[in-house]
Amino acid sequence: MRVCSVHGCPTLHTGTDSRCPEHSRKADRARGTAAQRGYTTAGHQGFRTAVLTRDPICVTCENAFSNVADHFPYTRRELIDAGLNPDDPQYGRGLCDPCHGRETAKHQPGGWNQR
């Protein structure tokens, strides 16, 4: 059993998520769909293809195949706020799933929902 990680929530749960099921659902709804976040556009698909073609091996660990096109050194949101094209491959790097999770946790405390 684990306690929900949301401040003030005393709910105990058995899931693998750090949040209780109720707070996990709320966070997922707040996140929006992939389309709402801009990840299903032709531009983003081109970005992903170009980055993973350029970086077939994870640029962080150099041991695994890249399967995530990570925006770097700025987040997609930061690029948009700066008036830059978030679909330009120069703002991306290829990462494997474990490295992408570590990098996101390190550079975006609070995760994707942090504003």
Local confidence band at 79 (pLDDT 50, 70, 90 cut-offs): very high
Local confidence band at 43 (pLDDT 50, 70, 90 cut-offs): confident
Tokens coding 113: 């929902």
Query: Which helix (H) or strand (E) covers residue 107, if one does?
Result: helix 97-107
Tokens 């749960």 found at:
13
Is residue 111 pLDDT above 60, yes or no? Answer: no
pLDDT at position 38, please? 62
Tokens coding 97: 């799933």
Domain parsing of the chain, residue ranges = 1-31, 38-110
Local confidence band at 44 (pLDDT 50, 70, 90 cut-offs): confident
DSSP letter string, 20-54 = -HHHHHHHHHHH--TTTTT-SSHHHHHHHHHHHHH
pTM here is 0.64
